[in-house]
Amino acid sequence: MTHPDVLKAAQDNLWMHFTRHGSYAGAEVPMIVRGEGAYVYDVHGKRYLDGLAGLFVVQVGHGRAELAEAAAKQAQELAFFPLWSYAHPKAAELAHRLAELTPGDLNRVFFTTGGGEAVESAWKLAKQYFKIQGKPMKTKVVSRSIAYHGTPQGALSITGIPGLKQMFEPLVPGAIKAPNTNLYRADEISGFPGFDKEPEAFGRWAADQIGKAIEMEGPDTVAAVFVEPVQNAGGCFPPPPGYFQRLREICDQHDVLLVSDEVICAFGRLGTMFGGQKFDYVPDIITCAKGLTSGYSPIGAMIVSDRLFEPFKTGNETFAHGYTFGGHPVSSAVALANLDIFEREGLLDHVTVNEPIFRATLEGLRDLPIVGDVRGAGYFYGIELVKDKSTKETFDADESERLLRGFLSKALYDAGLYCRADDRGDPVVQLAPPLIIGPKEFDEIESILRAVLTEAWNHL
């Protein structure tokens, strides 16, 4: 197809995800045709800095021939075989490699095709595990306000964004919500003035709220807590100091599983292989996907502790759950080659060394009147936009609509930066670039953001 033909096909036949198709009526759909390193190119040949690694995915950057070759080689050797009572070498090797990289005794890997399926699998396993333990009432889960955990109906129940759920109610029952760790808005969230200046006290309070939710439901009915190391939706909420240590204590006290949803935070996004390693906690289950192959082929995984696999190790117990394409041979081969790149190029160290420079560069934007907060960790940041910095007043729904959808997303893209303006909580610009970038690209991101955010302010 020629370029005009694919643009027409996108208008006529393609159903894009989470997309208001009406906004493209009479306008061209943005069409990305190729990528190289940290940059992607559209159908007209225009270049964009990929400030979101596609969708928190392309850790090693675009256009890596060796990942394409790993895929081709595997497709030729064994394109497909399922993991349903059979194994193939690449899935076994990848499971072994992941088990070596995880903290603690998280040694058992159940592959999926993506993140939502990993979350779904974790909830199902938690339910079955407790049934086997003779605690059949332990079925509910606690997660945090504004967190995104995927779109299958169980994962969507766990998701804490009402606007994404309402059209699909009733969802899976038994998913309870607790406050998140938005330190910038800690006063509002907790009701305690000054908590935004006391991260440790706020962290303790926020973790204790999860404990209270468990107690209110009855610990005998709660199976798991689902949390991201750094919560993405809402605009990058890192955990305050001590938060995860307290949460681990609470989960242990109530015999509740701690599920670390690392669909974004694993594979170097925070400078560590797994997100929990950045904050010194060991969960019972890790869910991951995205960066495991840097997006060169889809895969996800639920990685569980020896304790959780124990009942399935001998006897007749079966986890009656699976996906045709879970642990696909091509994706497994690509994941192994991707992890080779991580090692060979020292990507974790690269992120850790550059993290303070990236942070400082973005912090520089705080002099703009529209920038209320800059927060995040590793190569993962959110910039919260406000109407009034002194009061932290946010934009109302109309202003947010005009600012984010009407102006910001397109203006940033037109200026050559692909990233995301999001209003699933307060309005934020999200950044999660490929892990290969450095100070030169940080400066490019900063200067585009500075120009566009200045214009956005004048636009209001």
Ligand X SMILES: Cc1ncc(COP(=O)(O)O)c(C=O)c1O
Q: Which residues bind ligand X (CB under 6 A)?
A: 114-116, 119, 148-150, 228, 232, 261, 263-264, 289, 300
> At a CB cut-off of 8 Å and minimum separation 6, what does 66 contact?
337, 341
Closest among 163, 85, 147, 155 to 400, alpha carbons compared: 163
**Which residue's CB is nearer to ligand X, number 161 or number 368?**
161
Torsion of CA 102, 108, 111, 112, to 10 degrees: -90
**Which residue's CB is nearer to ligand X, number 56 or number 205?**
56
Closest among 198, 190, 207 to 144, alpha carbons compared: 207
State in angstroms the smallest separation of the CB of 289 from ligand X: 5
Pairing of strands 257-261, 47-50: unpaired
State in angstroms the smallest separation of the CB of 245 from ligand X: 21
Closest among 332, 285, 269 to 113, alpha carbons compared: 332
Ramachandran class of 234: left when φ > 0, alpha when ψ lies in -120 to 50, beta otherwise: left
Pairing of strands 420-422, 428-431: antiparallel
> At a CB cut-off of 8 Å and minimum separation 6, what does 394 contact?
372, 386, 387, 400, 426, 427
State in angstroms the smallest separation of the CB of 116 from ligand X: 3
Which residue has tokens 């009855």? 218
> At a CB cut-off of 8 Å and minimum separation 6, what does 458 contact?
none
Cα–Cα–Cα angle for 59, 60, 66, rounded to 5 degrees: 140
**Which residue's CB is nearer to ligand X, number 250 or number 301?**
301
Q: In what order do the strands lie in the sheet with 39-42?
A: 32-36, 39-42, 47-50, 417-418
Burial 284-315 (b: 16+ CB within 10 A, else e): bbbbbbbbbbbbbbbbbbbbbbeebbeebeee
State in angstroms the smallest separation of the CB of 214 from ligand X: 21
**Which residue's CB is nearer to ligand X, number 230 or number 365?**
230
State in angstroms the smallest separation of the CB of 285 from ligand X: 13
**Which residue's CB is nearer to ligand X, number 176 or number 448?**
176
Q: Provide the strand spans (E) within 150-294.
A: 175-178, 222-227, 257-261, 285-288
What is the spatial distance between Cα 231 and Cα 239, in angstroms, rounded to a whole number?
8
**Which residue's CB is nearer to ligand X, number 195 or number 296?**
296
Q: How far is CA 11 from CA 31, 76, 458, in A?
A: 11, 35, 33
**Which residue's CB is nearer to ligand X, number 254 or number 424?**
424
Residue with nearest beta carbon to ligand X: 115
State in angstroms the smallest separation of the CB of 150 from ligand X: 3
Q: Which two tokens stand for residue 198?
A: 């006391």
What is the spatial distance between Cα 147 and Cα 90, in angstroms, rounded to a whole number?
33
State in angstroms the smallest separation of the CB of 424 from ligand X: 11
**Which residue's CB is nearer to ligand X, number 205 or number 296?**
296
**Which residue's CB is nearer to ligand X, number 261 or number 373?**
261
End-to-end Cα separation, the chain, in angstroms: 42
What is the spatial distance between Cα 370 and Cα 364, in angstroms, rounded to a whole number?
13
**Which residue's CB is nearer to ligand X, number 119 or number 333?**
119
**Which residue's CB is nearer to ligand X, number 209 or number 231?**
231
